[in-house]
Amino acid sequence: MGKLGTKAPMCNDCCGAKATRRPWRGKESRHKQSHIRRPTHPGEVVSVDQLESSVPGFIGQMTGRLTKQRIVGSTIFVDHASDLSYVYHQTSMTSEETLKSKLAFERYALSHGVHIKHYHADNGRFKDTLFTRDIEGKGQTISYCGVGAHHQNGIAEKRIGDLQRTATALLLHAQRRWPDAINTHLWTYAIRAANDSRNYAPTNEHDISPMSRFCATSSVPTIQNQHHFGCPTYVLKKELQDHKKIRKWSERTRVGINLGYSSRHALNVSLILNLQTGLVSPQYHCQYDDLFETTTGTQARSIPTSQWQYKAGLSAEKPELTEEEQAYEDLWDEQSYEDYYSSNEGEEAVSDSEEEAVVDKGENEPDIYITRSGRKSKPPERLQYDAQACLLNWDEHEDQESWSEQHLLSFKASSDPDTMYHHQAMKQPDKEEFMEAMKKECQLFAWNHRQWELQ
């Protein structure tokens, strides 16, 4: 709008998120000659600064019990030549986490054929020995701004302010139209969505997007893959994605929250937050309500109650559920924690008749029977790590501190479903018989070995 000389339409969300003081004097011309040579190739000079937030940021996971770790800040990298920015979220503002952000950015740049040569930063964590030692070891250089002279690192400071204001506008827009599901703890995904929209769109100074200039390519992302942050997203059920059948006349989708692009998938794959479980998964078969039309009026009745805030530990008040939703929760309470927090929702197709049932039985498949908890018996399997390459770097799977929404870590452990945990066995009606059997087994072991005495 500004480049064409026309005024943009008024938006109350943008006014509330980007309002600043009116200038009382003019600034010098932007085209004034400077003695500093402007970089011409990506990677020549990169400005870096950090953003801290008093509001803890939500960390998404694909499977497993929801973590209590939170995002407390971010490191922002801005390439001078291409104007591309890179955001890395951190669970702490230590030197180790700051160094991880530098390594992540350099891996990202190297994947696009760019080598980083020089950094420009302030006198924060970037002057620590751990950070400077890594720069010297890679033959890079770094320069600093003066103490208290943050204007000397104005490129990174300005980018942080722009991203923060845009992310606030995205959050306010989504929260005012869907207050039951959107809250400020999603700022980590909002600031990433703001950064992605800036990297993939032309600017007032250039007709080519920063991503295209950074990669030295003429390809332009399609606008069809850009959807509003936090909008309701209708995801096709897993049975239909796997070419299975479901019950007739039943709903074919579930509602989730769009959190933006997946950093390691194609641009037509989005991260979707499940309203019931609080799990995040990359989905392709989606329909997006970019205008939030289904969150108002009679259509809002079909959207389930948002429970992810309570299950993630971000809200102390348990939401009030309808009878149907409470029955669904009671059904999941009978399952193990692994099944409850698994993202593989509805693995088994439900049919109206025997003709619609999908049964795949092989000759070597063991007999399947129904256990007392109502689950189908499955053969025991070894521990499996289900880590998505799009959400996790290959060298970070053993570092639990590196969990962040950028590198979502998912662990999936499967075992014999008939073997219960102790807390599950204590909830069964035959609890007394189970305790008596344990006591007899311990006494028998003590009698055979006679090495210790049961207290």
| Model confidence pLDDT, tens digit, residues 401-442 | 444 444 444 444 444 556 777 777 888 888 888 888 888 888
Mean pLDDT over residues 2-13, rounded?
A: 66
142 and 252 share a domain? no
The region of weakest confidence among 3-12, 78-87, 341-350 is 341-350
- Angstrom distance (rounded) from CA 80 to CA 31: 16
For helices 187-199 and 154-177, angle between their N-to-C axes, nearest 10 degrees: 120
- Angstrom distance (rounded) from CA 72 to CA 58: 10
Counted domains in the chain: 3
247 and 128 share a domain? no
Instruction: Give a yes or no: residue 14 inside a domain.
Output: no
- Angstrom distance (rounded) from CA 216 to CA 326: 54
pLDDT score at 165: 93
Q: Which distant-in-sequence residues (6+ apart) come within 8 Å of 7 by Cβ?
A: 1
Helix ranges (H only) for 112-241 are 129-137, 154-177, 187-199, 210-215, 238-241
- Angstrom distance (rounded) from CA 139 to CA 297: 61
- Angstrom distance (rounded) from CA 12 to CA 409: 37
**DSSP secondary structure code for residue 67 in this structure:** P
Residues 38-84: tens digit of each pLDDT = 788 999 999 999 999 999 999 988 888 888 899 999 999 999 999 99
pLDDT score at 185: 93
The region of weakest confidence among 1-5, 29-33, 177-181, 352-356 is 352-356
Instruction: Give a yes or no: residue 394 inside a domain.
Output: yes
Instruction: Give a yes or no: residue 198 inside a domain.
Output: yes
Q: How many helices (H) and strands (E) does the chain have?
A: 12, 10
The region of weakest confidence among 296-300, 303-307, 396-400 is 396-400
Domain boundary among 222, 242, 272: 222
**DSSP secondary structure code for residue 428 in this structure:** S
pLDDT score at 349: 35
The region of weakest confidence among 26-35, 170-179, 202-211, 393-402 is 393-402
Cβ atoms of residues 48 and 134 within 8 Å: no
Tell me: pLDDT of 173 over 70. yes
71 and 187 share a domain? yes
Please give the single-letter amino acid code of residue 293: E
Domain boundary among 222, 250, 275: 222
Tell me: pLDDT of 89 over 90. yes
183 and 260 share a domain? no
Q: How confident is the model at residue 16 (pLDDT cuts 50, 70, 90)?
A: confident
275 and 164 share a domain? no
- CA dist 317 → 58, 217, 311, 396 (Å): 17, 50, 10, 34
Which strand (E) or helix (H) includes residue 235?
strand 232-236
266 and 372 share a domain? yes
Cβ atoms of residues 259 and 288 within 8 Å: no
276 and 187 share a domain? no
Burial class (CB in 10 A: 0-12, 13-18, 19+), 33: exposed
175 and 235 share a domain? no
Q: Full-prediction pTM beyond 0.85?
A: no
Burial class (CB in 10 A: 0-12, 13-18, 19+), 345: middle
Instruction: Give a yes or no: residue 408 inside a domain.
Output: no
| Dihedral sign (CA 126, 127, 128, 131) | positive
89 and 189 share a domain? yes
Instruction: Give a yes or no: residue 264 inside a domain.
Output: yes
The region of weakest confidence among 16-25, 29-38, 291-300 is 29-38
Domain of 249 in residue numbering reads as 224-402
Burial class (CB in 10 A: 0-12, 13-18, 19+), 453: exposed
218 and 255 share a domain? no
More confident residue, 242 or 331: 242
Which residue in 37, 47, 30, 34 sits closest to 83, CA to CA?
47
Tokens matching residue 338: 């692994």
Cβ atoms of residues 96 and 128 within 8 Å: no
Mean pLDDT over residues 328-355, rounded?
A: 44
Tell me: pLDDT of 3 over 60. no
216 and 314 share a domain? no
Instruction: Give a yes or no: residue 252 inside a domain.
Output: yes
Residues 190-215: tens digit of each pLDDT = 999 999 989 888 887 788 889 889 98
Q: Which distant-in-sequence residues (6+ apart) come within 8 Å of 283 by Cβ?
A: 233, 235, 256, 269, 270, 271, 272
Q: What is the CA radius of gyration of the chain?
A: 27
Residues 259-288: tens digit of each pLDDT = 988 888 888 889 999 988 889 989 999 999
SS3 label, residue 109? helix
Instruction: Give a yes or no: residue 18 inside a domain.
Output: no
For helices 95-111 and 129-137, angle between their N-to-C axes, nearest 10 degrees: 30
The domain spanning residue 153 has which CATH number?
Answer: 3.30.420.10
Tell me: pLDDT of 343 over 50. no
Q: How confident is the model at residue 35 (pLDDT cuts 50, 70, 90)?
A: very low
Mean confidence (pLDDT) of the chain: 77
- CA dist 384 → 119, 171, 300, 368, 381 (Å): 40, 37, 39, 22, 8
Instruction: Give a yes or no: residue 11 inside a domain.
Output: no
Domain boundary among 201, 222, 243: 222
Phi, psi of 52 (to 5 degrees): -115, 145
Residues 367-396: tens digit of each pLDDT = 555 665 566 655 554 433 333 333 434 444
447 and 343 share a domain? no
Cβ atoms of residues 215 and 113 within 8 Å: yes
Phi, psi of 377 (to 5 degrees): -70, 135
Mean pLDDT over residues 139-152, rounded?
A: 86
